[in-house]
Amino acid sequence: MSDKTLFEKILDREIPAKIAYEDERCLAIHDIDPKAPTHLLIIPKRVIPRIAEAGEADAELLGHLLLTAKKLGSEHGPEGFRIVINNGPHGGETVPHLHVHLLAGRPLEWPPG
């Protein structure tokens, strides 16, 4: 039995995913249950279980994830986009591997959730 998260299995190409972007530090895939016409998950290749467990040593990677979200958001949602990071079960986290949701392609309502 593997202790890998779903995202680690995707990163290792054990589970297929529709890839939107990849570089040396992250992978962006299309969400299999999209909440907007564009719903990408930007996943760091180094595992950080959740944002609450990130430390100072993770600052560069966290910045890279946000800049990647900005780049992809500008391409997929030039009229506007939303970036979401869930933390813990009450925050909507379903996979214990930090990832950034990028939602675009329609007007998004507030408040979310």
The number of beta carbons lying within 10 Å of the beta carbon of residue 78 is 9
**CB of 103 within 8 A of CB of 81?**
yes
Hey, is 26 helix, strand or coil? strand
How confident is the model over 63-94, as pLDDT tens digits? 999 999 999 999 998 899 999 999 999 999 99
**Going by CATH, does the domain composed of 6-104 fall within 3.30.428.10?**
yes
Residue 111 has pLDDT above 90, yes or no: no
> Nearest to residue 21, comparing CAs of 81, 73, 83?
73
User: Which amino acid is it at 112?
Assistant: P
State how far Cα 104 lies from the chain centre. Answer: 13
> Nearest to residue 47, comparing CAs of 39, 58, 56, 33?
58
Q: Give the model's pLDDT for residue 113.
A: 64
Known catalytic residues are 99
How confident is the model over 17-30, as pLDDT tens digits? 999 999 999 999 99
Instruction: Indicate the domain borders of the chain.
Output: 6-104
Location of structure tokens 């309502």: 109
**CB of 97 within 8 A of CB of 49?**
yes
pTM above 0.85, yes or no: yes
